[in-house]
Amino acid sequence: MGLFDAVVGALGQGGGAGGQPDLMKIVMGLVQQAGGLEGLMAKLQQGGLGEAAASWVSTGQNMPVSGAQLESALGGNLLGPLSQQLGLGQGDLAGSLAKMLPQVIDGLTPNGQLPAGGAMPDLGGLLGSLLKR
């Protein structure tokens, strides 16, 4: 079982409808609330996770972060509304995001750069391909 299978399973047990739709809701909602991928990266930088977030964009190894680190960096303004929508505790949501975001951002930036001009890649397609791994 891959990482995303485990996360999707955990989300399904967390009170949401489970599966890929919840996963897409989480990531798309977070990116949207942060002001796009650039906004999310800026929030992570400001929250002290700049080095880890940069590793997710680069073509090298992804540095891990903990749920507590992510919760601290993103704060309740971003995580609170999403956790309420999904029926998850903020800490549980941050823990799931800590497992997902490195791979998702890595997949959204295959050339080691953020998309030009704030263009947003197809999150649904990316998540679908990651879930099949």
Question: Given pLDDT bands bounded at 50, 70 and 90, which one contains residue 17?
Answer: very low
For the segment 19-54, what is each residue's pLDDT rounded down to a tens digit?
555 666 678 778 888 888 889 999 999 999 999 999
DSSP class of 65: -
Neighbours of 105 (CB within 10 A): 22
| Spatial contact of 133 and 102, defined as CB atoms under 8 Å apart | no
According to the model, what pLDDT value does residue 126 have? 58
According to the model, what pLDDT value does residue 11 have? 44
According to the model, what pLDDT value does residue 120 have? 56
Neighbours of 104 (CB within 10 A): 23
For the segment 67-92, what is each residue's pLDDT rounded down to a tens digit?
999 999 999 888 988 888 888 889 99
Structure tokens at 73: 């960096």
The CATH number of domain 3-110+122-131 is 1.10.10.690: yes
- pTM of full prediction above 0.75: no
**Quick check: helix, strand or coil at residue 133?**
coil
Question: Given pLDDT bands bounded at 50, 70 and 90, which one contains residue 129?
Answer: low
